Amino acid sequence: MVTITQSYQKLKIQYGEIVARNLLLECYEQTARNQSETARRLQCNRRTVIKALTKQQKGNLTDMPHRPRSQPHQTAPEIEAIVLKWRSQTKRGKKRLHKILLDEEQVSLPISTIGKILKRNKVKIRDKKRKHRSKNPPAYDFSSLLPFEKFQYDTKDYLDKQALKQELYDHVLKYSLPQYQWTIIDVKSRMRFLAWSYQLTRSNGMAFELMVRAWLSMYGLALGEIEVQSDGGTEVGAMRRSMFERNQRDWWDDLGMKRKVIRKGHPEDDTFVERSHLTDDEEFYMPFLGQIKTPQALISRGVWWEDYYNRLREHSSLGDLSPYQYLKGKGYVLPESFCRFPSVILDTICVEPEVIEWSKVVHDQFDHDQA
């Protein structure tokens, strides 16, 4: 005689429907085939007992699928195949897939339908939950923040085996491509400025900062003081407090730039620039890096990617507008050429004295930092 202490529902969850029904049927025999007593002991209703007896007569104790026999509004298999194809190619979620299908295939599907298709085909939206290292990272007051007032600044070593496939990793080494990407992004509009380099040096960092500041001034933007925050790397001259304060006084004050350093070990403080690096991996390096074989080709493709990101790529946080469209909607009169910042290989600029005439103070700063 077997004594059952768990409910039928718990038995079914823990052991499956076949084991749970076998135990129910055994309890049914022990109670002299009393349906009410069996239901009471297993904490279920009599319909559950009757259903188990019916299945026993048919010789099949498994659950039947809950799928309806008739589905007149089911998505056509060919449409479902298109959704899965674009999901496999882009790894986008249901909202982005809705726009991709509309633009590329002229197929209009509700976002909820796309989500059900992915769920039905057991497609994982995320491989793992993202870890939030801080519950209260520094926030911006977007209600009063204007475009080109606050920026985030970071460098990215895209030669990363965790982000790139092995063949792309070997491809970069084979053709000696610049492996560091420099990024400055406007917090309000998400407008980005990019450059590349072979080395992470302070001279490259200063050249990039000067180019971005000059580019903004050339279009009549950020004429006052702007705030740029970054991590405390050597390329931004923030390894020591005294060095950082001297750089602020001798270099950034003259450029009208207020520099800030985020908390050590908290990349989530630079939320927007870090998130844009993930976009670079998924939408730029993964699909296009294998076609690039020269530094010149990297710059050419990089300018195209920068223009697409700034002028055409939609951002959900901007109401599904691109940064350029968002700025136009706010009344900014800017030509499309503003979206194509002259991305360069910074190492080539810093060894050409006729390109940038460094002041004596800056030269002294270079010598100090490199020492």
Structure tokens at 356: 């940038």
95 in the same domain as 53: no
CB 150 within 8 A of CB 138: no
Q: Could you tell me if residue 144 is inside a domain?
A: no
Task: Kindly state whether residue 187 falls inside one of the protein's structural domains.
Answer: yes
Residue 63 forms part of a structural domain: no
CA atoms of 154 and 132, how far apart (whole Å): 19
**Are residues 211 and 358 part of one domain?**
yes
Judge whether 116 lies within some domain: yes
Determine, yes or no, domain membership for 66: no
Residue 141 belongs to a domain: no
Cα–Cα distance list, 190 to 107, 182, 240, 244, 325 (Å): 29, 15, 30, 26, 11
237 shares its domain with 197: yes
Which range marks the domain in which residue 269 is found? 150-370
CA 352 to chain centre: 37
pLDDT tens by residue, the chain, 371 residues: 567 778 899 999 988 999 999 999 999 999 999 999 999 999 999 999 999 999 999 888 998 888 787 888 888 889 999 999 988 887 788 888 888 888 888 889 999 999 999 988 888 765 455 555 555 555 778 788 888 889 999 888 888 777 778 888 888 888 888 889 999 999 999 999 999 999 888 888 888 888 888 898 888 887 778 888 888 777 777 777 777 788 788 778 877 888 888 887 777 778 888 888 888 888 888 888 888 899 999 999 999 999 999 998 888 888 889 999 999 998 888 999 999 998 889 888 775 444 444 444 433 333 433 33
User: Is 115 in the same domain as 161?
Assistant: no
Q: How many domains does the chain have?
A: 3
Q: What is the pTM of this model?
A: 0.67
Same-domain pairing of 87 and 155: no
pLDDT in tens, 8-19: 999 999 889 999
Q: Which helix (H) or strand (E) holds 212?
A: helix 202-218
Residues 48 and 102 in one domain: no
CATH number of the domain enclosing 214: 3.30.420.10
Let me know whether 14 and 113 are in one domain: no
- Check if the beta carbon of residue 314 is closer than 8 Å to that of residue 320: yes
CA 92, CA 123: separation in Å to the nearest integer?
Answer: 11
Are 251 and 298 members of one domain? Answer: yes
**What is the per-residue DSSP string for 266-322?**
-GGGGHHHHHHHHHHIIIIIHHHGGG--SHHHHHHHHHHHHHHHHHT--BGGGTSB-
Cβ(339)–Cβ(311) below 8 Å: yes
- Closest to 149 measured CA to CA, from 253, 248, 224: 224
Are residue 271 and residue 180 in the same domain, yes or no? Answer: yes
Name the percent of the chain in helix, strand, coil, to the closest 5: 50, 10, 40
In 3-state terms, what secondary structure has residue 154? Answer: strand
Q: Are residues 217 and 348 in the same domain?
A: yes
Whether residues 97 and 219 share a domain: the answer is: no
* Cβ-contact 362, 255 below 8 angstroms: no
Cα distances from 181 to residues 8, 60, 162, 195, 297, in angstroms, run 59, 62, 17, 6, 15
* Chain centroid offset of residue 63 CA: 40
283 assigned to some structural domain? yes
Q: In this structure, is residue 222 part of a structural domain? A: yes
Answer yes or no: do 268 and 226 share one domain: yes
Kindly write down the DSSP assignment for every residue of 87-120, as one continuous string.
HHHH---HHHHHHHIIIII-----HHHHHHHHHH
